[in-house]
Amino acid sequence: MDTGAAIKQSGFDMIKHIVMWNVRGETPVQKQKTAQQVKSAFESLKGKIPGMLKLEVGMDVSQVDYACDVVLYTEFDNKGALDAYATHPEHLRVRQELGDCRIARYQVDYV
């Protein structure tokens, strides 16, 4: 077995975690305010999550009907760091803070 295959199989590869949401809001202004709340909440995690290498949060500017409202792009040292993020107290705080302001969620994790 070559070293590259051994590293891949053992979970040491950097992993990217992308999440997109649609948010609640009766008007475009309300949706924009909710999207900003999601953005701010996730940006508060910068520097607080071990193994998180990068965190970006963006709000849609296209306004096409099939676009999501907010996207979270993160990079982690490895799958273990991503798994730990899921139950990290700061991440759980953000999820609690945002409650049910999100109406749809989509996720992709890849090496």
**pLDDT averaged over every residue in the chain:** 92
In a domain, 88, yes or no: yes
- The pLDDT value recorded for residue 11 is 61
Residue 7 lies in a domain: no
Cβ atoms within 10 A of the Cβ of 44, count? 14
Is 1 within the bounds of a domain? no
Query: Contact at 8 Å (CB) between 39 and 94?
Result: no
Q: Is residue 79 part of a domain?
A: yes
Q: CB neighbours of 40 closer than 8 A, spacing ≥ 6? A: none
6 in any annotated domain = no
Q: What confidence score (pLDDT) does residue 1 get?
A: 39
User: pTM of the entire structure?
Assistant: 0.86
Model confidence at 81: pLDDT above 70: yes
Please report, for the domain that includes residue 42, its CATH number. Answer: 3.30.70.100
Q: Which domain holds residue 59?
A: 13-110
Instruction: Report yes or no on 3 lying in a domain.
Output: no
